[in-house]
Structure 1
Amino acid sequence: MVSQTRYVDSVFKKISKNTYNYSIKNLDTLKLDFYEPIEDSLIAKPLFLYVHGGGFSSGSRNDLGTVKMLESIAKKGYAVASIDYRLLPKDVIFGCDYKGAEKIKTFSKAAEDVIDALTFLVNYKDDFYIDQTKIILSGTSAGAESILNLVYNKDELVLPNYEKYKHIKISAVVSISGAVLNPSLITTSNSVPGVFFHGVIDKVVPYNEASHRSCKATDKGYLPLYGSKKITESISSFNTSNILISYKDKGHDLSKIPSADFFDITFKFIKKVVIDNEFYQAQITQ
């Protein structure tokens, strides 16, 4: 019989799921779904928080694929949360006609919602059985942009009362097709370990550096972004653990995973780096 390893393999058979209101922003009541393994004796579990994609105009914290993914993660022994965040009005397209400055405000609102969800969970950490020293943020596409800018580029965002969030410390990020606004703001103090999945020919969120959605410099929505290649170069320069998984024949359609690669690579990395405090850097091309 092959032994199973907590945080890497599915060591629990059943999980529970409950929904909570974590914040009210004007007319938006923001919810999170919280998953945890049943009959787990560990009273302080690492928190894995996921932020869905959808171009800031669609997507859901609880679509069928997301639920299946997060149930699988909870079975590995994590406390898991999937959150709502404020989306754009239905008639607004987050494209080349949407002003760059407004795009940054959209990033900021989503990042603020992420940190508010984390604050809610950490404030009730004893009830949720969370180890607040081991928080992993994950996101896909727009969700990845939200978490990456929050962690590496908060000074580019408009975050009211950020001082009240200073007790929240992030241990690692897991990004699928994400980017930041300014890689030069990554420093030794915010160089958080991470796992980065990205399609090399992504025309929506650049793999290296390019404009968002390939907008022209003359477009209202022109906004330079710096993707997984540039981010990992920056954090590697500070000797920070990271893995870059590059898909040479994929574009933004990569954001529709997780695939088997995601589960295998991500959770071995988290076990090694976040749980066991080991150093690890790698680049993988698929």
Structure 2
Amino acid sequence: MNHLKLVFIILCSISLVTSCASERSDDDGIEPLNTSESYEELNISYGNDDEQVFDLYLPANRTADTKTIILVHGGGWTSGDKTDMTDFKNFIKDQMPSYAVVNINYRLADENNSPYPMQINDITSVINYLKNNEAHYTISNNLGLVGVSAGAHLSLLWSYGFDTENQVRMVCSIVGPTNFTDPAYLNNTNAVLQELLDTFGIDTATDFLEEVSPYHKATATSPPTILFYGGEDPLIPITQGTTMRDKLESLNVTHQFTLYPNEGHGWTGLNLLDTTLELKIFIETYL
């Protein structure tokens, strides 16, 4: 069975919570924005595709040391939108007003476009865009990534395997897949879904599954990582969180792990409040 494709399909139906600008670079001679005032710009284009846009929120009184939090939405790699991260964006702006926030869209996978490496390349493009425009926006290249579900997988994978300049100072996974070689996935047999999965053409060889698994990309130099998982999640086995935790422990990577035993693929109420408060402390400590 094509197990990775199964994960792509089943996650796309679940979410955790419920003026286009032309691309510019630092050699365009654009003057820095007024740093004494906050600044917002929506749907900034970082590529040629309509889905390659992000929203930018800059704080007032920012400096060249201002750090940026990048939000990465979920949706099973095939759906979802940056608006799904609005609550997180609002929380950061309200509770951590000194940080810049970048809320991204990325190209969604379909029968003609595999999620990997397309979506990792999109994160790279966003981060390169920000780096090229540091002087214009007056921000540093110190970054934090916060992702939900498929967006959490992408955040971990990019931070562990593609951050060649060590810009990521912390990364957060909320119910994100971490290891596609997990027996909980490999032993899954669902003939009904398999008929749908064949349209993706995803390689299920072990080396590919390892290549797209944050668990297999983590190293001793991986950034501080905070993980949140639900004990009753029908899509993300507990082992996706616990083995990632154990791997980080073995590598002596700074990490924090929270399991909500009675929650599924997302939560509200007091547990969501706990998540946001833990995340706030982690961001302020490491980013």
Partner of 2:65: 44
Find the aligned partners of 1:141 and 1:22 in 2 and give their Cα distance. Answer: 23
Find the aligned partners of 2:226 and 2:51 in 1 and give their Cα distance. Answer: 31
RMSD of aligned alpha carbons: 2.7
Partner of 1:148: 156
Is structure 2 residue 282 aligned with structure 1 residue 259? no
Is structure 2 residue 209 aligned with structure 1 residue 198? no
Number of residue pairs aligned between Structure 1 and Structure 2: 214
Find the aligned partners of 2:157 and 2:137 in 1 and give their Cα distance. Answer: 26
Find the aligned partners of 1:139 and 1:146 in 2 and give their Cα distance. Answer: 7
Shift of 1:71: 3.0
Partner of 2:41: 18
Find the aligned partners of 1:179 and 1:80 in 2 and give their Cα distance. Answer: 24
Shift of 1:248: 0.5
Residue of 130, 133, 153 corresponding to 2:139:
130
| Aligned-partner SS, 2:245 | helix
> Structure 1 regions of 5+ residues with no counterpart?
1-13, 93-101, 155-164, 209-226, 275-286
Partner of 1:83: 104
Contact 1:198–1:254 (CA under 8 A) maintained in structure 2: no
Shift of 1:237: 1.5
Higher relative contact order (CA 8 A, sep 6+): 2
Shift of 1:153: 4.6
Q: Describe the superposition over 1:34-57 as per-residue Cα deviations: whole angstroms up to 9, x where unpaired.
A: 01223x243421110001111122
Shift of 1:72: 2.8
What percentage of aligned pairs have identical amino acids?
24
Find the aligned partners of 1:171 and 1:118 in 2 and give their Cα distance. Answer: 13
Partner of 2:249: 236
Contact 1:177–1:255 (CA under 8 A) maintained in structure 2: no
Is structure 2 residue 219 aligned with structure 1 residue 187? yes
> Structure 2 regions of 5+ residues with no counterpart?
1-36, 180-209
Instruction: Tell me: CA distance 1:78–1:16, structure 2 relative to 1, closer, same or farther (3 Å).
Output: same
Instruction: Tell me: CA distance 1:265–1:239, structure 2 relative to 1, closer, same or farther (3 Å).
Output: same
Q: TM-score, normalised by structure 1?
A: 0.67
TM superposition outliers: structure 1 runs of 4+ over 4 Å: 255-258
Is structure 2 residue 79 aligned with structure 1 residue 70? no
Q: Describe the superposition over 1:121-163 as per-residue Cα deviations: whole angstroms up to 9, x where unpaired.
A: 111112222221x210111001111111222355xxxxxxxxx
| Aligned-partner SS, 1:45 | coil
Partner of 1:61: 82
| Aligned-partner SS, 2:275 | helix
Shift of 1:258: 8.7
Find the aligned partners of 2:123 and 2:116 in 1 and give their Cα distance. Answer: 11
Find the aligned partners of 1:123 and 1:255 in 2 and give their Cα distance. Answer: 38
| Aligned-partner SS, 2:83 | coil
Instruction: Tell me: CA distance 1:43–1:186, structure 2 relative to 1, closer, same or farther (3 Å).
Output: closer
> Match for 2:90: what amino acid?
E
Q: Which moved more, 1:199-208 or 1:112-121?
A: 199-208
Q: What is the correspondence of 1:243-282 to structure 2 with a 5 Å cutoff?
A: 243-254=256-267, 259-274=272-287
